[in-house]
Each structure stands twice: as structure tokens, then as C-alpha cells.
Structure 1
Amino acid sequence: MPPLCELGLVDLAAAIAAREVSCVEVAHAHLEHADAVNPAVNALIARRDPDDVLDEAGERDAELGRGGRRGVLHGVPQAVKDVTEAAGQPFTAGSPIFAERVGVTDAPHVARMRAAGALFVGRTNTPELGFGSQTFNPVWGTTRNPYDLSRAVGGSSGGAAAGLATRMLPAADGSDTMGSLRNPAAWANVYGLRPSRGRLPGSPGFVAQLNEPGPMARTVLDLAALLGVMTAGGPVGPLDRADPLDLTDLHPAEPEGLRVGWLGDLGGRLATEPGLLDLARAPVDVLARLGAVVEDVVPAFDLDRLWDAFLVWRWWNSVEMAPLVEDPALREQLKPELVWEIEHGLGLTAREVARAAIVRAEWYAAVVALFDRFDVLLAPATQVHPFAADVPWPAEIAGRPMDTYHRWMETVMPWSMAGVPVLGMPAGFTPGGLPVGVQLIGPPGGDRRVLEVGLTHEAATDWSARRPPLLM
């Protein structure tokens, strides 16, 4: 295990800036470590020629020698999630239809990472076209959980999560439609932030779709450092937030009197694997011991209506992929879950979409009202522990059948629909050594609040420092 790979983003960036280590040394250490570890987990895909990476690292060193430093990512190895476009990089999205596609331009947050000096070493694996919370696809195969190689690591940012946990990356970008930054963070013992709606430029246009780009890291401060890069430059699209995000002088929140709402299984609504809720409640108990005021809460809202609106929103978002099912040759290359999403989207009526928009607005108002009572909310990030890597998705939980391929992740859905900031963070481990994670939920625009409460919890635990058996 190269010592340089143990460093997170903040410490690695500081060492490079101080010329304590060269960018070439950093690149060489991470490339060599990936050679040793990646074959077991399959987190990094489409890896670049190491000579090209080392040449670029040398150019970064030359810039430093001339007194130039692009930003916090100067010379820091990064790998962009494979559903996100980056100029000159493979852009397969895990689909055989796009197996030969190469990015033409940078997505906004990728452009910002590049401008800050990122050294791209490859891509991170994702489910086919990003659909599903299990990272496998017919182009690159399955990404495995570093804490148990027989199990899944979640998704769709599963490659990023596994790359972080194995120390192949010091921080990583991801994205989240339903729970793609939170589920893999939970199962890999890392952090993932779904920012406030529009905090990062994501889907263009005038419709608030569900997908949000966001950072992942092994510590809250590392995550905040990458978030600072990804948000630099202000709004791009018409629905992007214009209020600046102040990430200076981040410090742990004062826990005394902090009002915390524990959502649990939403009053028995959610099927959960036996024992999971007790483990996921650990951060609540940590904050309570530090002085927080904790109360169990179930939102006063018809969550069946919300689930139905969520399905409509996903289906509506899938309509842009209609050509993939209308061409029989392309259709047969898609996994059935994707065909199901697109076909339902094509069958939507304008009235159904309008009704879903009304429900989403009503839910947003209900969530805003919750934050009159609470400073933050806590909820499980998953409803099951990591399952076998060859299982596409769990058909049932504790004897309760799942009626869709993503119902088993319903715990993350409400907060995606609300567009509020959610920090996926480590909560401990099962007796068998599998990571457990929670969602720390803040009010609209409260990205800084969840980071500071996350720092409070992180300082009181040592979960984030625990390494997977693969590295030991």
C-alpha cells in the first residue's frame, strides 16, 4: 500500500503544493496501486496509457516549477463516472450500444475539475446507462465490494465508491438520481453528497429533473474540497442555484441542542433487512450522547402518492432514450429494466406528468415544514446489506416482494424528490464486517449545514478510517 495512496484529497493537494512530493511520484504510486488492486474490484475502467498519464504529471510538475498551480486538483489522480461526458475519454455508460463512443466535450463539473488541474487516469464503472443501484454492465462487467468481493457495492456511482475505499482515488465525482451517491457510499464506507437541487450544473433546460452530480470522498473535508471545485463558476442552466456556497472555515456543528429527526423505516412503510435499522440508528445515538435532541418522525404525507409521482418523473426523464427501444437492433441490447422505464415514459399522458409535478411541489412544502421542527434529519441509506454480486436486485426483503427493480431503495427517494442536500455517511459495520450507512438530510440550500453536522459525527467516530480487508 503506497503511503501516498493513503492520503485524501486535502492532504495530497497540500503535499503537492508544498513540493513535498512531485505529481509524477503521486501518479506513479496511484497507477501502481491500481494495477495491484483494481483487478479484484473492477472499479476503474477505460484506464489511460500510464505513459500518457505520467507525461501529463510531468507537465503539472513543470507548471509548479514556474510558480503556477491550477487549483486543489493540480496533479491529483481522478476518474470521471462513465455516464458523464469528458472530452477525449471513453463515454460508454456501460452500454454495448455506446461501447465505442468517445466524449466530445466536458460536462460542466468535469470542465471545472480539469481547470483545477485534475489528472485523469480513467473512468469509474456504472450500471448500464446509470439505471439501477447495482454496478454491472455488459461492457465492463461487475464492480465488487472491497469489504467482501462476493458482494455488490451498489450504484450507480459504484465504481467511484470502490475506487475510494481501495485508495485508488483520493476523491471522486458521482451523480445521484434516486440514491446513486448514497447507496454505494453506504456499502463502501465512504461519503457521498447529493447537493441541493441546482447547486451543481446537471440536466440542462427548464425542468427540474432528478439527477444531481456530486462529490465522494473518505472524509467530509475531502468531500468539501472537491465540492468547492465542482461548484466553482456559478450557474450554467436556467434552474441552477445562484446563491454562492461558502465552504471556507468549515468546522463541526455544535451538537448541544441540535434538533435531529430520525426517520427510520417511515413508520413501518419500508421493508428492511433484519437488524439493519438498529445499526443504522448508531449516528443518532452518537449525536444524542453529544447533546442533540432526537425525535422519531414520520412525515405527514401520502407516501404512496409520492412514490407514484417519482415513477412518473423517472419515466418522463427516460423518454429522451425512446430511439433505443424503437430500433429493434438497439432494443435487444438493453437490459429489461431500461426497456420498462422507457416504454412507461412513452405511455405517459400530459395529465399524469402535471399531476406528478403537483405532488412533488406539495412534498417540497411538507419537507420545508419539517425543518421548522428539525435542524437535520437522519435516515438509513439502504434497506438491505450488500447482497451477492451476481444478483441484479433483491426481489424481496424480509419476505416482502419488491414490485419494481428499485423499490428496495425507497428510503432515498423522498429526498431526491424534494431536491434537498443529503450527505451519505458511514454508520458502522455489521458483525460480519459489511459497511452500514445513513443519510444526513438538510433543508433546501443547507449544503453547509449537512457538511458541518457530518464533521461533528465524523469527529466522534472512527468509521471512515477503517480499511477494507482487501488492503490489509
Structure 2
Amino acid sequence: MTSELIRKSACEIVDGLRAEKWSPRQLLDALEERIVVVDPAVNALPTLAFERARANADALARRPLAERGLLAGAPVAIKDLTEVEGVRTTHGSRIFENHVPTRSDIMVTHLEDEGAIVYAKTATPEFGAGANTFNDVFGATLNPWNTSRSAAGSSGGSAVALATGMAWLAQGSDLGGSLRNPASFNGIVGLRPSPGRVAANPGMLVDDILSVEGPMARTVEDVALFLDAMTGEHPANPISLPRDGTSYRKAAQSRALPKRVAFSADLGGITPVDPEVADICRAAAYRFTELGVEVADAHPDLSDARETFQTLRAVSFATGHAAKLETHRDLLKPEVVWNIEKGLALTVGDVAKAEARRAGIIARALAFYEEYDLLLTPATIVSPFPVENRYVTECAGVRFETYIDWLTIAFAVTLTTGPALSLPCGFTREGLPVGLQIAARPRGEARLLAGAAALERHLDLGTVAPIDPRPGS
């Protein structure tokens, strides 16, 4: 039965729980068996919590079926940046190597209230910095499509667990593409919701609209199901949005087509893109025309995105991690040190200029979405690169100045404050997955999920089925 369960979608799993075809304990057993076989080859789930999970599953089973929440006992994997009560949470850092939280993050509590059973923590780079999942606590996470390649990051462990059938649902977070990049590299779906859609502990920047928590799964409808369970406000998160009655799963099921969408391979030349990746994404985007959707080459003006994002990201690192620089500098990786110091060196004038530029980006994006329902681009500018490379240093003959410049196509969309997801859209000549970024106007998750689900069905890549890790060189 294990193999049969592992190959099912998350929606099938939850529907089966509601019909009592299987129990949460049976699902946990299936996952544990799969993890034993698969995880040694990819290192995606460094911390397991099956004893806690089974205790929670038993408690949930004592409730009437109608009171088991939207997820009804579905197992969920949580990124190692997110606190889970009683479960080792390292943030990918030696500073927190033995940290066991006494309270869960708001988001985790919310999910457990909706019947989620947390059974594992997923690998992340140190404090989520850098889009390649490795750290000094657990080592590197490997891409299952070719285990010599990067899983991207920072939600790399979640993406790998999903791609290999060690998870049906996995949470991630996204500041500059940390959900979308690993989704692209691993052939799964990752959604960055609008800021405030998912309540979580706000950290030191209580009004932060750069970093969000979001759902990851193997299909658009599975992601929508998970988003339904994640949404909702909390008084401790001042920007969190209340539920408005929208069912995102129903929106995805509707596959309502957009009228007009835009495609841009490089957002007006603000980033280089590998030609093969660009061609795959363009071909997938223009498949919309076969459904009667108008597709045009267009993009909003995001020409000042790089400078704007670099400044605002540095502010977040300085605010969140400056104290660690004073007390544990020797335990921080050089990229984190650089980002903190960059933030500390900023002037009020630097920050004011970045905020003004961000306001302009949001205004121009809103005007753009008056003409187009969706914006389509590559989710990443390259295919999975060798895992020993800390980050991408050049693309299409262009050398990058910093370790996050290669993420411009994702973080430019972050600045618009609209939701965006990565949808599997094809494979390179090496057989490596490529993701198409699909973005919508702020708070436009329902429209985004409907359009993405329609294109997913039309592309028919069969990504609901997990894969076994494939050794590569």
C-alpha cells in the first residue's frame, strides 16, 4: 500500500482521509518507509518527528470527522527556518544547532488547528540565505533529477521531499525566490502568496512585505488546497489578512482561463537568461494560445528592481541578524556576514530612496495588470547547476556582482507584492526540469491558481508522480 499512497496527490490523500479510506497513522507509516529508502540519496529531511506526529494523529483521530480541519490529518513537512514546538529547529545555522523551540510559529499552530500532522523539518541554507540548499549543520541537499546538481533554495529540502514522494505537502518561505527557485529546479509547484495572506511570526520587521510563507506541492490544485489551510489573520502579525470566503482549491479546479497574458524572457533585459531555459518557457507560455488566450510579449517597468531589492534585503538582514554578527561572527557563512554588513552601512537616505522606488514598482505593476491578467517569465534563469557551486556567478556571458544577482527575475516580482508561482513547464536536453513563473496582481491568488491549473493540464507533464533519485555526474 505504501507505493500506492506515495503516488497519490495531496488532494486525493485528504479526500481519502475524509472518506476514511486510510488513517493519518497509515500515511505516516508510508512516509517513514519512503524516507528510509530515499532520503540518504538526497538529504532533504534532516530532522524527523514521527513520535510527535503519531501522538498528534491519535489525538486528531479522537475528534469527530467534521472537526478535523481542512487537512483532516494530512502529514505536512515544515521548513527548518520555522519553529515547531518540541522539534529541533536549526535555521540551518550552527548557532541554533541544538535549538528546540518551546512554542510553534503562528503558521504551524494555524496548520495544526486545520488538521495538519507535522512529521519532519526540511533542509534550508543558513537563515535562508542563498539559493543553494547547504549548511554546516547537515551538509548539502541534492537534486533528485540529477544528484550532482543543486536543489536550489532556500526551500530546497521541501522541494526535494515533494519531488521524491517523501511529502505530499511541504511549507516553504520566499523573499527573493526561495519557494519558486527550488520548485523550478525540482519539477514541483511552489506558490509565493501576497504579503499577509499567510500569518506567521513577524520577526524584527513587523511590517515586512518582502518575506512570506507559502505552500509547495506537486500540482497546482494541491498547492491551492494547502493555501486554503494556511490562510487567515492573527493579531501578532499586523499585516495578516482575514479569510474572505475564497476557496483556492475551487479556484484551481475551475481552471478559469485568463483573457490576456504577457510573456517576458528577461523582464526587459534586467537579467540574462540561459537561451535554452528562455526557449522552453516561451514555448510553454505560448501554449496558452491553444486555449484561446491572447499572449503578448510585454512586461512592467522593473528596471530599478535590483538596486531596490538589494537595499531592502540588506535592511532585513541587518535588522534580523546584526546581534549574531557581534556574538557569533565565526559561525556565520560569508554571504550572511556580507549581507548584514551591507545593511548596517546603509544610510537613512539609501533606505528612503529604495522605499520610493518600491512604491513606483508597485504602481507600475498595478497599471500593467489593468492590461494583462498574468505575467509569465522563467522562474529561474538557469537549469540546475553543480551542487558544489555556492551560487551562480555568470549566465549567458554576464558575470554577477553578488551572490543574489542571479535571482533578479524572481525578486523583481517579489517587489510588485503580487502572488507568483513556479509551474513545471518542460525539460532541458539533459532531462532537468524548468519552471515557468506565473505572477498576478496583488491579492490575485484565485485568478493565478485558476490560470496555472489550466496551463498545467494543457502541458500534461505528469508531475504528480514522484521520482526516485537519479545519480548524476
Query: Would you say same fold, with TM above 0.5?
Result: yes
Task: Give runs of aligned pairs for residues 350-429 of structure 1, distance below 5 A.
Answer: 350-429=348-427
Instruction: State whether residues 133 and 152 of structure 2, in contact with CA within 8 Å, keep that contact through their aligned partners in structure 1.
Output: yes
Partner deviation per Cα, 1:273-321 (whole Å, 9 max, x = no partner): 23110011232121011111111114335x1x32111111011101131
Task: Give runs of aligned pairs for residues 47-126 of structure 1, distance below 5 A.
Answer: 47-48=48-49, 50-61=50-61, 63=62, 67=65, 69-126=67-124
Give the TM-score normalised by structure 1.
0.94
* Residue 55 of structure 1, CA deviation: 4.4
Runs of 4+ off more than 6 Å: none
Instruction: State whether residues 262 and 298 of structure 2, in contact with CA within 8 Å, keep that contact through their aligned partners in structure 1.
Output: yes
Q: Specify the SS of the correspondent of 1:418.
A: coil
Q: Distance in 2 between matches of 1:277 and 1:182?
A: 16
Q: Specify the SS of the correspondent of 1:322.
A: helix
Identity of aligned residues (%): 35
Instruction: State whether residues 157 and 184 of structure 1, in contact with CA within 8 Å, keep that contact through their aligned partners in structure 2.
Output: yes
Could you say if the C-alpha distance between residues 114 and 254 of structure 1 is closer, same or farther in structure 2, counting changes exceeding 3 Å? closer
* Residue 235 of structure 1, CA deviation: 6.4
* Residue 413 of structure 1, CA deviation: 1.3
Q: Specify the SS of the correspondent of 1:150.
A: coil
Instruction: State whether residues 200 and 235 of structure 1, in contact with CA within 8 Å, keep that contact through their aligned partners in structure 2.
Output: no
Any unmatched runs of 5+ in structure 2?
Answer: none
Task: Give runs of aligned pairs for residues 281-300 of structure 1, distance below 5 A.
Answer: 281-300=282-301
* Residue 11 of structure 1, CA deviation: 0.9
* Residue 384 of structure 1, CA deviation: 0.7
Give the structure 1 partner of residue 219 of structure 2. Answer: 219
* Residue 348 of structure 1, CA deviation: 1.0
Task: Give runs of aligned pairs for residues 63-462 of structure 1, distance below 5 A.
Answer: 63=62, 67=65, 69-202=67-200, 203=202, 207-233=207-233, 236-242=236-242, 244=244, 246-247=246-247, 249-250=250-251, 251-255=253-257, 258-301=259-302, 303=303, 305-320=304-319, 321-327=321-327, 330-462=328-460
Q: Distance in 2 between matches of 1:79 and 1:469?
A: 19
Q: What letter matches 2:140 in structure 1?
A: T
Q: Distance in 1 between matches of 2:5 and 2:242?
A: 37
Q: Specify the SS of the correspondent of 1:84.
A: coil
Q: Distance in 1 between matches of 2:30 and 2:21?
A: 15
Could you say if the C-alpha distance between residues 365 and 415 of structure 1 is closer, same or farther in structure 2, counting changes exceeding 3 Å? same
* Residue 254 of structure 1, CA deviation: 4.1
Q: Distance in 1 between matches of 2:341 and 2:285?
A: 41
Q: What letter matches 1:261 in structure 2?
A: A
* Residue 75 of structure 1, CA deviation: 2.5
Could you say if the C-alpha distance between residues 235 and 297 of structure 1 is closer, same or farther in structure 2, counting changes exceeding 3 Å? farther
Q: What letter matches 1:448 in structure 2?
A: A
Instruction: State whether residues 7 and 466 of structure 2, in contact with CA within 8 Å, keep that contact through their aligned partners in structure 1.
Output: no
Give the TM-score normalised by structure 2.
0.93
Q: Specify the SS of the correspondent of 2:296.
A: strand
Q: Distance in 1 between matches of 2:71 and 2:395?
A: 42
Instruction: State whether residues 79 and 157 of structure 2, in contact with CA within 8 Å, keep that contact through their aligned partners in structure 1.
Output: yes
* Residue 217 of structure 1, CA deviation: 0.8
* Residue 236 of structure 1, CA deviation: 4.7
Instruction: State whether residues 379 and 410 of structure 2, in contact with CA within 8 Å, keep that contact through their aligned partners in structure 1.
Output: yes
Instruction: State whether residues 427 and 438 of structure 1, in contact with CA within 8 Å, keep that contact through their aligned partners in structure 2.
Output: yes
Q: Say how many residue pairs are matched.
A: 464
Q: Distance in 2 between matches of 1:55 and 1:200?
A: 26
Could you say if the C-alpha distance between residues 298 and 20 of structure 1 is closer, same or farther in structure 2, counting changes exceeding 3 Å? closer
1:22 matches 2:20: no
Q: Specify the SS of the correspondent of 2:214.
A: strand
Q: Specify the SS of the correspondent of 1:196.
A: coil
Instruction: State whether residues 171 and 226 of structure 1, in contact with CA within 8 Å, keep that contact through their aligned partners in structure 2.
Output: yes
Q: Distance in 2 between matches of 1:409 and 1:370?
A: 22
Q: What letter matches 2:464 in structure 1?
A: A
Instruction: State whether residues 209 and 313 of structure 1, in contact with CA within 8 Å, keep that contact through their aligned partners in structure 2.
Output: no
Q: Distance in 1 between matches of 2:233 and 2:43?
A: 33
Q: What letter matches 2:184 in structure 1?
A: A
Q: What letter matches 1:390 in structure 2?
A: E
Q: Distance in 1 between matches of 2:57 and 2:239?
A: 37
Instruction: State whether residues 234 and 244 of structure 1, in contact with CA within 8 Å, keep that contact through their aligned partners in structure 2.
Output: no
Give the structure 2 partner of residue 468 of structure 1. Answer: 467
* Residue 243 of structure 1, CA deviation: 6.5
Q: Distance in 2 between matches of 1:198 and 1:87?
A: 23
Could you say if the C-alpha distance between residues 235 and 370 of structure 1 is closer, same or farther in structure 2, counting changes exceeding 3 Å? farther
Q: Specify the SS of the correspondent of 2:435.
A: strand
